[in-house]
Chain A
Amino acid sequence: AQKVTQAQTEISVVEKEDVTLDCVYETRDTTYYLFWYKQPPSGELVFLIRRNSFDEQNEISGRYSWNFQKSTSSFNFTITASQVVDSAVYFCALSDGNNNDMRFGAGTRLTVKP
């Protein structure tokens, strides 16, 4: 069975601090996809990144970076120099490639204080 665990329910940081959101997943599939979504107060989930199981390269996009480690089944997300606009709920998700079966973690609520 597939499962995604985001152990951090809520994180609060002060602006300009770096923050890492943890994501641990479980799957028996050899091919799978990992995602991060951001849910701002407006409600919609905004796609941030997709990573497939064969690509363990870390990725950086501006202040965002992702660390994918198959050995520990983790796909952690780091925001560098956080800003107030980063305040949102962040979801990690796992899919086996079948669009009918995407599992979401419980989400981490990030609050960035000025």
Chain B
Amino acid sequence: ETGVTQTPRHLVMGMTNKKSLKCEQHLGHNAMYWYKQSAKKPLELMFVYNFKEQTENNSVPSRFSPECPNSSHLFLHLHTLQPEDSALYLCASAPGETTYGYTFGSGTRLTVV
């Protein structure tokens, strides 16, 4: 256990479905991140939240909608996804100060059918 918990671990959804990914940390970190990891591609930063405020949206399509109700929880709401959105979605958190590195969750393996 890394201290960052992601649920569900696996998700299969149709292109017309709506689902949400959840990330939770109780490390006292102030920054939280969503990354996308596709096969044979580098890690792609999607969203950044600092102190619950979104500070970066890395040109992510609107079918991905993040939500950060508090510093401990981060959601990624999904709707009308495409098969190419199938990937491992990783959540990470960090203290939010100088860089001590991130703590990652185990990820949600998403398959869009």
Contacts and interface: CB of A to CB of B under 8 A. Distances in A.
Contacts of A46: 2, 104
Interface stretch (B67-75, B77-85, B90-98): B90-98
Interface in A62-105: 91, 95-100, 102, 104-105
Contact of A43 (B45, B48, B88, B101): B88
Nearest to A94: B99
B111 interface: no
A45 interface: yes
A47 B106 CA distance: 13
Given A45-B104, A47-B103, A105-B42, A99 B94 contact: yes
A106 interface: yes
B98 A44 contact: no
Contact of A44 (B56, B100, B104): B104
A107 B97 CA distance: 26
A41 B63 CA distance: 28
Interface centre among A33, A35, A37, A102 (most CB of B within 10 A): A102
A43 B107 contact: yes
Given A99-B31, A100-B56, A47 B101 contact: yes
B62 interface: no
12 contacts: A35-B101, A43-B88, A44-B2, A44-B106, A47-B101, A91-B43, A97-B99, A99-B50, A99-B96, A99-B102, A102-B102, A106-B41
Interface of A: 33, 35, 37, 42-47, 50, 91, 95-100, 102, 104-107
